[in-house]
Amino acid sequence: MPAADPLLDEIAALLEAADSGLDVGRLERTLTDGYARALALEAERSRLRKRIGALTGAGGRSRELASLARELDRREAEVDALRGQLALLRRRHSSAVRAVRG
């Protein structure tokens, strides 16, 4: 079972919160943290792809390639899930900002 992730927990809490009284600053901080994490995951994904490419081109070891491929799959799933949650939170943020202004 994966360890608890405070960022994902915060995103979930903000998505479940009632519209009244939403803290726009908290939403913005969480979005910023989330996008920073997504960029870091995408950089890791890129590094893994390069390493796989280098090993493949050099007739790499199958165990290492398999391990890297599994790690790449995990990173891709993680970044896709995070980006999906961030898209929902961004829509929530837009609604909260309109409510504050309007």
- Residue 17 within any structural domain of the chain: no
- Residue 1 within any structural domain of the chain: no
Confidence band (pLDDT; 50, 70, 90) for 2?
A: low
Q: What is the pLDDT of residue 96?
A: 77
Please tell me the pTM assigned to this model: 0.85
- Residue 4 within any structural domain of the chain: no
Confidence band (pLDDT; 50, 70, 90) for 49?
A: very high
How many domains does the structure of the chain reveal? 1
Q: What is the pLDDT of residue 102?
A: 62
**Of residues 10, 1, 3, the one with CA closest to residue 34:** 10
- Residue 93 within any structural domain of the chain: yes
- DSSP H helices, the chain, are 6-16, 24-57, 62-101
- Residue 18 within any structural domain of the chain: no
Q: Please answer whether residues 56 and 65 qualify as being in contact, where contact means their C-beta atoms are separated by less than 8 angstroms.
A: yes
